[in-house]
Structure 1
């Protein structure tokens, strides 16, 4: 390994080096020595490094390889292949590439996409590559610290410095007494000094952990090798061979044993006779859905037919906004548009905002397209993600359905991209870097692949809206000269009406003496659906039981010791210990019997979460069956699918959940939707608060009345006069968007301005504040007059997971941030104890 001394990540000419190599080159094993320039996966390293290629190793551009780097082994990407190394490098010092991990991952247009992500989101190329690849593909060894239990004397912590004591305590709290050095450094200030102290006493040992590679999954195949059978076979052996022949002469070993009702020992005897052979074959791990009945294309409404015709007319890149009210049949338009793409021998990519949406959508796609559908999201195992990723490279016509990371699936013959619920904030990555937005990346990818991009939503984002429409006093009208096409589905399938929305003022409920979380109107509606044997969805913004626990005597609130937030109460079962949990760092503790401040026994739960709502339903309606649908109940694999399947099959009457159930669920039996508390959505310190509240409430309201029976929506709030509530009541997206865009334009907020958020955090409060001030001053010197520097200021929740957080907001009055400022020099003003993240086009300003 020798540094090629090229400023690859910052040089203007670097783009062509990756996206358009100077010559086509395919290296195979030969007698001539070859070299490669490799981008390595090591934190803090910038540039390319030159390695030699062993003569027996076949390497191509874009291959993922493992290479030695310093005292470790790490992953890297082959950027260029060389006949001779740079003249200024000593050949004796150049180290060998160890192995090829994966080949053929990076065609030219894919390189261009990753480089554009890195440039726009102000990060290095390796970070963009890592966020695009499946986990485990780029592995690297890491230095770890292990506790030497047999050498640790009793009371060892009393003989240590404060830093060494903290490290010792962390190791003792961990089951195996084992942490990476990087983790210890992130948790303890001056950890290196403490590690040296403990090493000298031989109480800890340091070792290098090898990279963890994802292994291919192998399965044993049985192959028939002799067609003519002699008399040395028993009748049972002959029967087994006949079954094997009837299946084409080859079967998986497990399948043959099951079908022939035999054993492995019997097969081994047939092998000894020479009639069959075993071989290990790789099988691709994929998310296995439930077998679906074959589905056929449905008859389209005139509006659907018009939208589909416009989509099919696109012969190259185009962006199309499909604005359809809830239940208007957007998915059927996707399905029929994709069918055309598959007939052309191309593939399609469908993105959804939440993992919870994938099972129902996947089932519908598989019913139409069968095995051509693959799923890609973070709840798959590493092996499933790795194999699904590799399958996408093959080039066969297929459909990938996934969350935001699926935008990087390397489909070589991409013909269409669909973003369903394109308005959803889940399409924006907050961490790790780069903080990309899947909608933005999808647009770039559609351009590079010269294919259409469909943005579908009942409540389009204002950014998408202004690209294709103008807002006036008489409503919203399409603009003919825009490159983004506007497609409208203004009515539900079968001309079903949108459900009427009733607004309940909870202040009046209190005046009537009703202290329940349910208004009388909602209680009556639940009683009605019980009598009619129908189903209901109840939405509450928060999971858990209660928002916070407070002392009624002194007002003390139980707070997380690591974050500036209150602890939420989580109910487990009757008689169980009362558990308090932080929703930011997952700190948990038992609720004390008395107030820690005044020793009063009067601790009370305040606020409502999904658990409390579920309990209240069970008390008021003991005969109703309830399913809770939130991040607590959907942690295990396939939990989303199982819970929704149970609800669809009428195993429950009421589905209680958070934002998960507001998106994409299409359940015909739901005739009632109740929003238990809308106020948690309305009053947030963010310029997008009104837009998000309108979108969430409109989407959840749209879950009602999608079948033959009409639906009804009841929204409970203490702010019935709020503009968002008034527009949601009338399903009036046009009025809401007109007003909201006027306010955004007056304040130069997106989509009429650009934002960059600089986030800083450290375990030292004074250190992060000092760095924030220095970086804000540096921003003033770097930026031109079109930019404003707001801050520095503490984040709305200043401390999370023991780290103090400050932020600086850069605001530009220009609509597009096409020419972003060079902020790379800001790192010079940031100490090692402070972490800095630059978020371009931030969604959350907290």
Structure 2
């Protein structure tokens, strides 16, 4: 859609063949630069002229004209000369530099690697890596400097420069957009150049308002002799400033001196003080923490820590510690020497809800050196935190998956806590990257250790670390879509070092897990969602003034609503799923909501098909559990912890703080409860319905169910009092349930890996999912069929020309409709390529594959998918 806007001087290159080092400096005498433009529909690099007064380096964020608009871009590399067919006179110029040196060394190689491996345009990766809005459309502005004379010295200025200076001095802030000045003054470029050379004005690019630096007025003592003609209030203000070291924020000074701003302004006019705006960095709101000292370690912890401290350079470590074994304390003590060496640490967690508790522990140990980076922060906070990282001071950054791109120039260690968690994989938008894979590449690039911590490691990490002797070699999947690219040293992750913490600290026992057969409960007349065993345990917990957790895998009240007369199920009009029933409290407003597209409606009183009043709710969610608790245990104080109650900023911390301080007896939640939350006072964990995790059409279903159930069970008994877990299910003989009860990860992994190996699933095979979607069901299906035919033809040709002596294994499954065919009115089909890790398979390039998709049908390639949607 932008092709008609491109002028001849915007000559694009359709591939990014090489990237210059970010810190490579070039002379300021003009020249040319290739820019990666942030504009929909723009691919490749575009060449721009560099004005003589600008210094542009690789890695700078610049503003450039693109068609009829001004857009942001990344300076990729400077050019010494143009090709013979290019006319320098037609080249458009870089307008300005938004930010110099925004990327540390090796950063470009990492971004290019992500784009290549996950089959994504480089600019898409850049958008994920940068703070939101930074490359958005910006405007160039001109403002006066302190050196500008007033009144202007007209005899030394040209008429054009005089007009510009007069306009700026007439404006209260001395600041106008360049677009406005160009409309007011003819030939404004010449006048501006004159003023810039004299240093009377400065040109800057105003970034999008959401990431504009925050300014705050400060008052400073001027180096002037004392002026006797000062009022008592004015003398008191100066005395306060002297006691505070000669500088204070204006608002603090007014409050402490109990004076109005006019008093300080008068002092400024008399030359006693200087008032100027200073930038204030925005960080997430912190709560006071009590400074903490390193804790005494067990023998097992000390042995693990000694091994980690002895690591030099790049190494990958799998720290397999049972729940409550003290992995976080090891992280803290492993990071301390990193900071002492002047380096920084990056700690990744799977969920935003995990960051408040972890951040408090880290700030108690390392103070203001700890920063947080995740999507729940405001754009301004993310922007300021990003810029703080670039300073290179020793710091600890805690964040979710996007923080893997944090631009820490002196990175000494990377830690993935709960490395097994599926939240580290991004499903949409592209790139569909996995933070663990990117962290592996980055740790190798910067030559630092990578620590993967979990009580239930993913099977890929388990095999890499030698959990099973039959380890498979991993090949570079980027060759599938970029067959001409050379092999990279980042191709396959190195074997991991395996470290184990098999016991909890202080030798606290693992909580026993009691399995309750809900079929038997029903036969014995108990129709409650709580078994009699769980009811007794809740009452005992309340009598002993203890706390507990209740886990249910779904939020809302009921999973679907059906008519008992005609069988009609209330469904979303935009998706092929049932609507979830929501009722926040008994007798409250009843709504039906789609958890896929967000559609909502009020709950009808009668069936829309047969008009019968017999609508019944089926299934259970967190809201229904809360109502059942209020009905059966009215004296229990309950809090709900799911995505509905944690939407507001700071709500994760507020809910956990309320529970930890004893304001509630029961915390009812979804999988957020399983992600590393440390609540020593919890003695009871109840799994209300485990079956919703067991019977999913996904090859990872058993692994995911084992991890979730083991993790939530591990929340019990972490303090001085022993814990207890009650697991309710209709499938007590299911292999996953039996493995969870035994609490032996190696036995579960061995059985699961045998099935994976027989079926060529990861970690003994590789997967690539081709997902197509569009509003026209027939067009999507036909495109999927055509794409499957094209892929099979290419694969068969590949096999017929193979000279390896062995036949590479591959299997192309589909095309088939997705498990949920329609989501948000878009119909979805997919193909799944499964192939051996031993051989390389040549496939069409990404551009060629997309050429088979007509307008209105989109193609997304998900490399190493975690879920088969």
2:101 paired with 1:94: no
In the other structure, the counterpart of 1:621 is 633
Q: CA deviation at 1:86?
A: 3.1
> Which one of the candidate residues 818, 824, 827 is aligned to 2:847?
824
Distance 2:85 2:282 in 1: 46
Distance 1:303 1:800 in 2: 49
2:303 paired with 1:303: no
In the other structure, the counterpart of 2:149 is none
Equivalences for residues 500-519 of structure 1 within 5 A: 500-519=512-531
2:672 paired with 1:660: yes
Distance 1:19 1:454 in 2: 30
Equivalences for residues 717-732 of structure 1 within 5 A: 717-732=729-744
Q: For each residue in 1:688-731, what CA deviation from the matched residue of structure 2 results, as whole angstroms up to 9, or x when unmatched?
A: 00000000000000100111110000010000000000010121
Q: CA deviation at 1:778?
A: 1.3
CA contact (8 A) 2:348 2:404 kept: yes
Q: CA RMSD in A?
A: 2.0
Q: CA deviation at 1:92?
A: 3.3
Q: CA deviation at 1:604?
A: 0.9
Structure 1 length as normaliser, TM-score? Answer: 0.87
Q: CA deviation at 1:19?
A: 4.8
Q: CA deviation at 1:227?
A: 6.6
In the other structure, the counterpart of 2:419 is 422
Distance 2:464 2:246 in 1: 58
Q: For each residue in 1:79-121, what CA deviation from the matched residue of structure 2 results, as whole angstroms up to 9, or x when unmatched?
A: 1123433331233332122222222112340000001101111
In the other structure, the counterpart of 1:796 is 819
In the other structure, the counterpart of 2:860 is 837
Distance 1:657 1:816 in 2: 45
CA contact (8 A) 2:769 2:833 kept: yes
Q: CA deviation at 1:276?
A: 1.2
2:507 paired with 1:495: yes
Q: CA deviation at 1:211?
A: 6.6
> Which one of the candidate residues 434, 440, 444 is aligned to 1:443?
440
Distance 2:40 2:758 in 1: 42
Distance 1:325 1:540 in 2: 22
- 2:468 aligns to what SS in structure 1? strand
In the other structure, the counterpart of 1:596 is 608
In the other structure, the counterpart of 1:67 is 64
Distance 1:685 1:235 in 2: 80
2:590 paired with 1:578: yes
Distance 1:820 1:485 in 2: 34
2:111 paired with 1:114: yes
Q: CA deviation at 1:576?
A: 3.9
CA contact (8 A) 2:316 2:494 kept: no
Equivalences for residues 24-423 of structure 1 within 5 A: 24-28=24-28, 32-140=29-137, 214-226=211-223, 229-423=226-420
Q: 1:553 to 1:722 in 2, by over 3 A?
A: same
- 2:62 aligns to what SS in structure 1? strand
In the other structure, the counterpart of 1:200 is none
Distance 1:463 1:276 in 2: 64
CA contact (8 A) 1:33 1:83 kept: no
What is the aligned residue count?
762
CA contact (8 A) 1:789 1:810 kept: yes
CA contact (8 A) 2:550 2:687 kept: yes
CA contact (8 A) 2:775 2:825 kept: yes
- 2:83 aligns to what SS in structure 1? coil
Q: CA deviation at 1:827?
A: 0.8
CA contact (8 A) 1:792 1:806 kept: yes
Q: CA deviation at 1:39?
A: 1.1
In the other structure, the counterpart of 1:525 is 537
Distance 1:227 1:491 in 2: 68
Distance 1:493 1:758 in 2: 46
Distance 1:819 1:313 in 2: 42
Q: For each residue in 1:748-798, what CA deviation from the matched residue of structure 2 results, as whole angstroms up to 9, or x when unmatched?
A: 100000000011000110010010011111111233443321100000000
Q: CA deviation at 1:507?
A: 0.4
Q: CA deviation at 1:243?
A: 2.1
- 1:469 aligns to what SS in structure 2? coil
Q: CA deviation at 1:257?
A: 2.5
CA contact (8 A) 1:139 1:213 kept: no
Distance 1:792 1:34 in 2: 51
- 1:652 aligns to what SS in structure 2? coil
Q: For each residue in 1:227-259, what CA deviation from the matched residue of structure 2 results, as whole angstroms up to 9, or x when unmatched?
A: 753432333333322222122111111222333
Q: 1:419 to 1:790 in 2, by over 3 A?
A: same
- 2:428 aligns to what SS in structure 1? coil
Q: 1:335 to 1:815 in 2, by over 3 A?
A: farther
Q: 1:797 to 1:760 in 2, by over 3 A?
A: same
2:721 paired with 1:709: yes
Q: For each residue in 1:806-829, what CA deviation from the matched residue of structure 2 results, as whole angstroms up to 9, or x when unmatched?
A: 000011121698988634311111
Q: 1:594 to 1:819 in 2, by over 3 A?
A: same
Q: For each residue in 1:415-434, what CA deviation from the matched residue of structure 2 results, as whole angstroms up to 9, or x when unmatched?
A: 00000000000000111111
In the other structure, the counterpart of 1:805 is 828
2:7 paired with 1:7: no
Distance 2:263 2:69 in 1: 48
Q: 1:832 to 1:697 in 2, by over 3 A?
A: same
In the other structure, the counterpart of 2:449 is 452
In the other structure, the counterpart of 2:697 is 685
Distance 2:270 2:857 in 1: 70
Distance 1:482 1:105 in 2: 30
Q: CA deviation at 1:137?
A: 0.9
Q: CA deviation at 1:45?
A: 2.7
Higher alpha-carbon deviation: 554-563 or 127-136: 127-136
Higher alpha-carbon deviation: 670-679 or 810-819: 810-819
Distance 1:761 1:514 in 2: 46
2:656 paired with 1:644: yes
Q: For each residue in 1:96-149, what CA deviation from the matched residue of structure 2 results, as whole angstroms up to 9, or x when unmatched?
A: 22222222112340000001101111112111111111100111489xxxxxxx
- 1:294 aligns to what SS in structure 2? coil
Unaligned runs of 5+ in 1: 143-209, 474-480
Structure 2 length as normaliser, TM-score? Answer: 0.85
In the other structure, the counterpart of 1:180 is none
In the other structure, the counterpart of 1:194 is none
- 2:648 aligns to what SS in structure 1? coil
Q: CA deviation at 1:619?
A: 1.3
Distance 2:556 2:49 in 1: 56
Q: 1:585 to 1:503 in 2, by over 3 A?
A: same
CA contact (8 A) 1:237 1:270 kept: yes
Distance 1:345 1:737 in 2: 40
Distance 2:627 2:83 in 1: 71
In the other structure, the counterpart of 1:434 is 431
